[in-house]
A and B are shown apart, each in its own frame.
Chain A
């Protein structure tokens, strides 16, 4: 009996750490969550009554601040700045400043509608937007300090009692819809990932590893400090989440590094019954990792199921009906190709990425930076070149468009787009002059009163929608005269590159040999004895 008890307690000791690491607490019967709750902040107060430290942790994160820690932006003056979604411009909906009421429906807080928002108040955190598991929690269309949705009333108490871990759906409720619609922005993040097939994304597919976003992106020391950066809102000088965290630097034919039991189990299940790879092939593929990011071969195409926006021309905006409703045009695929408040769009589906050397850092255009309007303005040029430490060839979605700028001051304009009629909001008033003046005043920058439209480019490195096995990029996609990496410096790719001199001389020699033999043979034939 004693021995049985001893064995049982030993087993419990071994099993306990593994279990506790991933044990989910059933929140339904917790005293603090019995409610009833009338609004979002009252739910948050209940959450904070147990998770007060998480509240404090969250107040310092980019998810809350929409900007990062002070960082030196590469290629600039060396001044440390805090940049992020809150103060940058892009070539989609341009920027948040003066448009908070619309943009912050994807902020993890209640009530950020202008500069008066209190970023030090943890009760304004919206826990539910990430931790709802019912799928019934709909965020309001515009920032409301009480979090009340525009349409149906929220059953705050039921939703509060059904909190749980984040999911692809909860993260995706914002990250899949950036830029104002499904898949608009990233190209490698859209709602198709919620039901991903193995061919769409092997990590997120239930047939594959069944990971959620937080499997890879969870914070290590502070769980709510999510790891990973988007090159659109960060210059990535801090921590970088990469494939190598689990797969190592030379992944082919090697064991990977599982960080949790469930990752280990998922991987074992995934690999069960698969043929081991050939060591020579593994070596050849690992050799490629010196210069190629994993993503280059493992994300051969993006926006595979849903289209993504690849061109946005703001200069075409303005056509509207008499009642103020914008004109809308749709192509035969159902994509909006023109919208009076936003301009003309082009979409792409199942796209081939563009490739650039990239060391994980970007230059960054900041509001107020002067540029030469004769050139195409790159808002976040990826840095790094051949031979530089850490630089590899990456796949990108490249977003191009035309957006408003100040023709006298020669910098981009942050226009006011969203707001009430008469506020200067372009989406209501259709007046660029007013939208530019109001927006630039909000951003504390002079506006000359003269505007134009200039072409801009943004680079979106791809990291999702990865595949393996026979679905990866085939060798001949690059090892080919017209291969995908055509024009990328610092490479000699057999099949794509050659020495024209050697080839021309070589073929001259071959042709010369052939003709010499032919001439000799003809002479022999003509001189043959009859």
Chain B
């Protein structure tokens, strides 16, 4: 079986740090929201703010990385192949048909992944980062509150974004099991090496 080096060291670092931050943000966020309460509000807020600021920094740097390495193209949707990919997930996978697209360093993601990750990066991330940053900065720059009509609209959008994020994480976790074996995709994200066939 041929193996291919798919995820560079920085990509893997980015992925896992981001995963840790997003999980921390989700858990502390739902403490702040009042849904769960295993730590006190003030501590959750403290962690949430720190994790959020680190995530903003990580995101900005990773954008820079993707521009300079040209890897950003991996997230751009490509013509064709999506229908086939969807047919595979809804039918072929149950018949153990082969994957319709084979990952390569030039095209790491299948058409479905590209759309899913791009939506994460252009919808959920910006919405969460912008609303989160405004909420964090409101007491520094009270003028924010005059444009956003206070905390409430921002908080509600941020909450909705958090639910979208949780849905993404759940589906993402499940989709990792759809590789050649249940754990092969996970292994690829840890070691960088993916099975080619």
Contacts and interface: CB of A to CB of B under 8 A. Distances in A.
B117 interface: no
A507 B166 CA distance: 10
- Which of under 10, 10 to 19, 20 to 34, or 35 or more describes the interface residues of A? 35 or more
Contacts of B150: 492
Chain B interface size band reads 35 or more
Nearest to B35: A503
Nearest to A482: B34
B96 interface: yes
A160 B37 CA distance: 62
A527 interface: yes
A520 B32 contact: no
Nearest to B42: A475
Most-contacted residue by chain A among B89, B163, B171, B173 (CB, 10 A): B163
Contacts of A512: 167
A327 to B, nearest CB: 48
Contacts of B35: 503
B140 interface: yes
B138 interface: yes
Contacts of B89: 520
Contacts of B159: 498-499, 502-503, 506
Given A474-B40, A475-B40, A524 B93 contact: yes
Interface string B40-63: 111001000100000000000000
Contacts of B96: 527-529
A284 interface: yes
Contact of B151 (A480, A494, A516, A523): A494
B40 to A, nearest CB: 5
Given A476-B41, A527-B94, A527-B95, A521 B34 contact: no
Contacts of B160: 502, 506
Interface in A479-530: 479-481, 492, 494-499, 502-503, 505-507, 509-510, 512-514, 516-517, 520-521, 523-524, 527-529
A502 B35 CA distance: 13
B168 to A, nearest CB: 8
A88 B89 CA distance: 80
A286 interface: yes
Interface in A142-182: none
A521 B160 CA distance: 27
Interface string B135-162: 0001110100000001110011001101
B93 A476 contact: no
A474 B44 CA distance: 13
Nearest to A474: B42
A475 B34 contact: no
Interface in A278-335: 280, 283-284, 286-287
Interface centre among B34, B142, B162 (most CB of A within 10 A): B34
B167 A510 contact: yes
The CB with the most chain B CB atoms within 10 A, among A496, A507, A513, is that of A513
A506 B42 CA distance: 24
B1 interface: no
Given A509-B163, A513-B170, A492 B155 contact: yes
B159 to A, nearest CB: 6
Contact of B139 (A287, A498, A502, A529): A287
Contacts of B41: 474-476, 479-480, 495
Q: Is the interface of A mostly helix, strand, loop or mixed?
A: helix
A513 to B, nearest CB: 4
Contacts of B142: 287
A529 B96 CA distance: 8
B78 interface: no
Contacts of A510: 163, 166-167, 170
Nearest to B141: A283
A287 to B, nearest CB: 3
Contact of A507 (B93, B151, B163, B173): B163
B33 A494 contact: yes
Contacts of B10: none
Contacts of A474: 40-42
Contacts of A523: 94
Given A499-B159, A506-B159, A513 B139 contact: no
Contact of A502 (B31, B93, B138, B156): B156
A505 B33 CA distance: 15
Nearest to B168: A513
A496 B37 CA distance: 12
A496 B138 contact: no
A310 to B, nearest CB: 29
Nearest to A517: B174
A363 B174 CA distance: 62
Contact of A524 (B34, B94, B139, B164): B94
Residue from the set B33, B41, B150, B166 with the largest chain A CB neighbour count within 10 Å: B41
B167 A509 contact: yes
B197 interface: no
A494 B94 CA distance: 45
B27 to A, nearest CB: 14
Nearest to B156: A499
Given A492-B152, A521-B174, 17 more contacts: A286-B139, A287-B142, A474-B41, A475-B45, A479-B41, A492-B155, A494-B32, A494-B151, A498-B159, A502-B156, A502-B160, A506-B162, A509-B163, A517-B173, A520-B89, A523-B94, A528-B96
23 contacts: A280-B49, A287-B142, A474-B42, A475-B41, A475-B42, A476-B40, A479-B32, A479-B41, A492-B155, A494-B34, A495-B32, A499-B159, A502-B159, A502-B163, A506-B162, A506-B163, A506-B166, A510-B166, A512-B167, A513-B166, A516-B171, A517-B171, A529-B96
Lowest 8 A-B CB distances belong to which pairs? A506-B163, A287-B139, A492-B152, A517-B174, A476-B41, A475-B42, A495-B34, A479-B41
Interface of B: 31-35, 37, 40-42, 45, 49, 89, 93-96, 138-140, 142, 150-152, 155-156, 159-160, 162-164, 166-167, 170-171, 173-174, 177
